[in-house]
Amino acid sequence: MKFLCVPCDEPMKLDKTEGPDDGSITLVFACQACGYEMAMLTNAHETQMVGSLGVKIGPDGKAEAGKSKCPFTGTVQGLTDDAAAENAVPWTSEARQRLESIPSFLRTMAKSGIEKYAKDNGFETVDESVLKEARSHFGM
């Protein structure tokens, strides 16, 4: 995905990030040719969803320059395998069966979000009651 400057038709570059403040972040893109700026603002729910995927948000997640042309490379960074294992919460067999009913392309994101919810709320194991609470919490 690229953002193009409408007046110049030039690719915009990530200029700065702000936040997360109150759960939201702002990404400011600027045209190198004319200085035109535009901002993208995420709301707290969007930021929470991305965070539940194990993605680090903010300027501390900057990747090395030149590695990617994606405008978000300097803003997000994936969770390492060690960090993912550290965040894992055990699941009951019933809860795992329910997890399998989630479409495969969403399953990893759902699992991460549910485990984060369980950990943040003091649950040591993901069972059907945690799934019910998390579903309500995420508005599903």
- Residue 140 within any structural domain of the chain: no
Instruction: Specify whether 66 is located in the same domain as 1.
Output: yes
Lowest mean pLDDT among 39-43, 82-86, 102-106: 82-86
| 48-95 residue pLDDT tens | 776 666 555 544 444 334 444 444 444 444 444 444 555 578 999 999
Instruction: Specify whether 71 is located in the same domain as 102.
Output: no
Can you tell me the distance from the alpha carbon of 26 to that of 49, in angstroms, rounded to the nearest whole number? Answer: 16
- Residue 60 within any structural domain of the chain: yes
Q: Provide the domain limits for residue 3.
A: 1-78
CATH number at residue 131: 1.10.8.550
**C-alpha closest to that of 126 among 116, 136, 137, 140:** 116
Q: Answer with the residue of higher pLDDT: 133 or 74.
A: 133
In the chain, the number of structural domains is 2
Supply the mean pLDDT for the chain: 75
- Residue 89 within any structural domain of the chain: yes
Rounded to an integer, the average pLDDT of 102-130 is: 86
